Amino acid sequence: MGLETVVKDIMDAAQSEVSKLDSEADAEVSLILDEAKQNAKRIMGERLAKAEDDIKKIKQQEISSANLEVKRTLLNARKEILEKVYVQAVETISTFSPEKNEELLKELISNNEASGTKIYSNADSEELVKKLSSLEYAGNINCLGGVVIENEDGTIRLDYTYDVILKSVNERLLKQTSDILFG
Rounded to whole angstroms, the Cα distance separating 23 from 17 reads 10
Percentage above 90 pLDDT, the chain: 59
Among 13-17, 27-31, 160-164, the range scoring the smallest mean pLDDT is: 13-17
For residue 180, is it left (φ>0), alpha (ψ between -120 and 50) or beta? alpha
Rounded to whole angstroms, the Cα distance separating 98 from 70 reads 45
* Residue 21: predicted pLDDT: 82
* Residue 158: predicted pLDDT: 92
pLDDT at 163 over 80: yes
Q: How far is CA 9 from CA 5, 94, 127, in A?
A: 6, 125, 141
Average pLDDT value for the chain:
89
* Residue 59: predicted pLDDT: 94
Rounded to whole angstroms, the Cα distance separating 161 from 101 reads 12
pLDDT at 1 over 60: no
Average pLDDT over residues 16-27: 82
Summarised one tens digit per residue, pLDDT across range 34-70 is 898 999 899 999 999 999 999 999 999 999 999 999 9
Average pLDDT over residues 1-13: 76
